[in-house]
């Protein structure tokens, strides 16, 4: 018997309920209760397939509940709760409602058993997340939100086209692993890759996430890319292409992060890099590598949310978000709790033993060793070095320490710790990062496949410690080279941001031609109208060379004459008809 309701429904109800409440306390209660209810609901959900609805000649499956979907659903709900704790003081109802719809849509994608349901929730996710970006209400965020939405709607269109081709080929809308056949599967893959931010489709992520509010970017970091990893695990396990794309992507994010000055964009590039590990795990397609992808998605959501929370705390308090503006202020002395939370997140993402990145990232790298892919193995190891280098060495040096301020003109106000609810959210997330790192069984027990992995082997711990300590030594040689610089990086969004400007210039020129043609046409029309007002004048002008000024047009002037003429003609015509019929 099924006692559960679809968790998306709970989130949607929350979104509808929020604007109806008057009291702030009630609203805060709802903000925390909805994800809690959703979590209880997940525990009640029966394994297997439920919520089947006939639609046209197909069957919609809203609840495919198995280990893979539950693994993602758990972490989505947990971090939705943590994100809400973090955002508790935000008084913009719209932002909370959008976050609930976003979370609900992600749950819908996670449990979708057919392509149509998947597509609907997929699009809903794009729209809700764009609203979260717009909630900052600055001109930059509005622009970034529109670019974000355009990219995702294009991805959604590719997905829909692929789905239609695939459904017409196979005759079924069930969402199962796809074969290599036909353009349909490639279009679906493109739709998924756009959401997973795989280069060259990655620029939307680093363009838009830093433009949201500090609480908004925590939610943004959770759902879109990881639900894309989920659908890749469902639809494209073992596609060779993905393992290469993933490995390249892992390094791509690192290179850009090393050059970045905006601290949230820095983290956004690390999402690209970390999702690269997961995509690579999907591409290798063994049970261990896919377990690794799922585990890494789980851990990544936690530590990335933590990093966005800690960095958001700095932005909230200082109002600055560039390394060049924060460097050399010794912020760690003013906000030590926030600093420790950041470092827990940084150690987790850098796969330091006892933190959760260690137990998941190494699973993917180990899987690359098992299937004997030396180049991918080394690329992933190099990306791990880069992660440690940028997030545990470069960014803390820029954000928390630094020798002297780069930009002397920037004066920071009174600096203290961020509000208590933010610190509590960070603390809970950090606790989860450490618990899963120290006691990995809690995570390994909910992984989708049977493959087992023991992270704490002497060889693995020794290897990671060697890598970390010696890359630290390497960094100390080049410390000054990585000082913050006032610059922006151009990414693949250059093509559509600059391309759109060129396109608009063309449009303006095209429009100028159109306007001049229209001017000619309207002048001609004016003349024609003048002629039509009094056609008789045209004849008199041509025949009698009459150039006297136009008289006022009098509609009755010729009415009688024409009327009589028509009457005579009708009489004549009637007579002719009579004669014709009489003599036939």
Partner 1 sequence: MFWKNRKMLLSAVVIFCLSLFTPTSEAHFFWERLPVFYALFGFAGCIVLIIIAKFLGKLFIKRDENYYE
Q: Which residues bind partner 1 (CB under 8 A)?
A: 254-256, 258-259, 369-370, 372, 374, 377, 381-382, 385-386, 389, 457-459, 462-479, 481-482, 485-491, 497
Cβ at position 465, least distance to partner 1 in Å: 5
Comparing CB distances to partner 1, the nearer of 164 and 258 is: 258
Residue with smaller CB distance to partner 1, 252 or 342: 252
Rounded to a whole number of angstroms, the minimum distance from the CB of residue 491 to partner 1 is 8
Q: How far is the CB of 507 from partner 1 (least distance, A)?
A: 19
Nearer to partner 1 by Cβ, of 481 and 527: the residue is 481
Rounded distance between C-alpha atoms, residue 355 and residue 216, angstroms: 25
Q: How far is the CB of 273 from partner 1 (least distance, A)?
A: 11
**What 8-state DSSP symbol labels residue 479?**
G
Question: Is 145 or 313 the residue whose CB approaches partner 1 more closely?
Answer: 145
CB of 369 to partner 1, least distance (A): 3
Write out the two tokens for 114: 């057919």
CB 390 within 8 A of CB 307: no
- In three-state form (DSSP H/G/I as H, E/B as E, the rest C), the secondary structure along 40-103 is HHHHHCCCEEEEEEEECCEEEEEEEECHHHHHHHHHHHHHHHHHHHHCCCCCCHHHHHHHHHHH
Q: Residues 214-250, buried b or exposed e (16+ Cβ, 10 A)?
A: bbbbbbbbbbbbbbbbbbbbbbbbebeebbbbbbbbb
93-111 and 24-44 helices, crossing angle to 10°:
10
3-class DSSP state of 541: helix
Residues 214 and 182: beta-carbon distance below 8 Å: no
- For the CB of residue 493, give the shortest distance to partner 1 in the complex, in Å: 9
Query: Nearer to partner 1 by C-beta: 125 or 263?
Result: 263
Judged by beta carbon, residue 458 or residue 513, the one nearer partner 1 is 458
Looking at beta carbons only, is 192 or 397 nearer to partner 1?
397
Residue nearer to partner 1 on the CB measure, 501 or 579: 501
Cβ–Cβ < 8 Å for 211, 144: yes
Structure tokens at 141: 């965020």
Residue 569 CA to residue 562 CA, distance in Å, equals 10
Shortest gap between Cβ of 259 and partner 1 (angstroms)? 5
Task: State the nearest-atom distance from the C-beta of 349 to partner 1, in Å.
Answer: 16
Backbone dihedral angles phi then psi of residue 316, each to the nearest 5 degrees: -60, -45
Cis peptide before 557 (omega within 30 of 0): no
Considering the complex, what minimum distance in angstroms separates the CB of residue 367 from partner 1?
A: 10
Q: Residue 334 or 497: which CB sits closer to partner 1?
A: 497
d(CA 128, CA 116): 19
Q: Comparing C-alpha atoms, which of 124, 26, 19, 112 is closest to residue 73?
A: 112
Q: Name the minimum Å distance from CB 338 to partner 1.
A: 24
Residue 325: CB partners within 8 Å, gap ≥ 6? 318, 406, 407, 410
Whose Cβ is closer to partner 1: residue 137's or residue 481's? 481
Q: What is the smallest separation between the CB atom of 510 and partner 1, expressed in angstroms?
A: 24
- Kindly tell me which of 108 and 398 has the beta carbon lying closer to partner 1: 398
**Torsion of the alpha carbons at 181, 187, 192 and 197, rounded to the nearest 10:** 120
CA distance 19 to 517: 52
């Amino acid at each position: 018997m099924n006692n559960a309701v679809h968790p998306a429904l709970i989130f949607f109800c929350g979104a509808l309920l929020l604007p109806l409440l008057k009291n702030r306390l009630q609203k805060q209660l709802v903000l925390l209760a909805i994800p809690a209810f959703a979590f209880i609901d997940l525990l009640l959900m029966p394994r297997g397939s439920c919520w089947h609805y006939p639609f046209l000649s197909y069957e919609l499956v809203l609840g495919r509940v198995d280990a893979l979907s539950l693994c993602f659903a758990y972490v989505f709900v947990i971090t939705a709760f943590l994100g809400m704790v973090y955002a508790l003081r935000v008084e913009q109802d719209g932002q909370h409602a959008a976050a609930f719809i976003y979370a609900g849509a992600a749950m819908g994608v996670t449990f979708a058993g057919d392509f149509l349901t998947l597509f609907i929730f997929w699009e809903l996710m794009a729209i809700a997340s764009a609203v979260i970006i717009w909630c900052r209400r600055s001109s930059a965020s509005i622009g970034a939100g529109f670019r974000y939405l355009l990219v995702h709607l294009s991805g959604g269109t590719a997905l829909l086209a692929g789905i239609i081709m695939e459904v017409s080929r196979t005759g079924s809308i069930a969402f199962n692993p796809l074969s290599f056949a036909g353009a349909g599967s490639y279009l679906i893959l493109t739709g998924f890759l756009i959401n997973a931010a795989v280069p060259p489709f990655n620029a939307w992520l680093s363009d838009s996430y830093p433009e949201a509010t500090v609480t908004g970017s925590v939610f943004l970091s959770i759902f879109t890319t990881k639900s894309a990893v989920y659908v890749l695990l469902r639809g494209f396990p073992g596609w060779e292409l993905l393992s290469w794309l993933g490995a390249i992507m892992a390094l791509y994010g690192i290179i850009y992060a090393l050059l970045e000055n905006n601290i949230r964009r820095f983290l956004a590039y690390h999402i690209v890099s970390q999702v690269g590990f997961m995509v690579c795990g999907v591409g290798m397609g063994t049970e261990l590598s896919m377990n690794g992808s799922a585990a890494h998605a789980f851990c990544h959501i936690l530590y990335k949310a933590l990093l966005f929370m800690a960095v958001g705390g700095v932005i909230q308090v200082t109002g600055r978000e560039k390394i060049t503006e924060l460097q050399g202020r010794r912020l760690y002395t003013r906000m030590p709790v926030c600093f420790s939370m950041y470092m827990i997140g940084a150690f987790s993402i850098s796969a330091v033993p006892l933190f959760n990145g260690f137990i998941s990232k190494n699973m993917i790298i180990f899987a690359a060793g098992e299937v004997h892919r030396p180049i991918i193995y080394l690329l992933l190891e190099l990306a791990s070095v880069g992660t440690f280098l940028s997030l545990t060495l470069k960014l803390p040096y820029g954000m928390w320490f630094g020798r002297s301020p780069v930009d002397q003109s920037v004066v920071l106000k009174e600096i203290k710790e961020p509000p208590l609810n933010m610190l509590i959210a960070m603390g809970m997330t950090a606790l989860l990062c450490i618990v899963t790192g120290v006691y990995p069984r809690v995570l390994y027990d909910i992984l989708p496949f049977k493959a087992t992995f023991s992270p704490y082997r002497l060889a693995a711990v020794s290897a990671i410690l060697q890598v970390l300590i010696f890359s630290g030594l390497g960094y100390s040689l080049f410390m000054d080279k990585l000082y913050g610089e006032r610059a922006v990086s151009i990414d693949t969004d250059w093509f559509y941001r600059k391309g759109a400007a060129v396109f608009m210039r063309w449009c303006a020129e095209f429009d100028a031609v159109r306007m001049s043609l229209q001017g000619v046409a309207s002048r001609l029309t004016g003349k024609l109208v003048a002629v039509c007002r009094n056609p008789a004048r045209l004849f008199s002008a041509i025949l009698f060379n009459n150039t006297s000024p136009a008289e006022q047009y009098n509609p009755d002037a010729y009415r009688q004459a024409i009327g009589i003429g028509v009457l005579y003609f009708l009489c004549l015509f009637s007579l002719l008809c009579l004669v014709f019929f009489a003599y036939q």
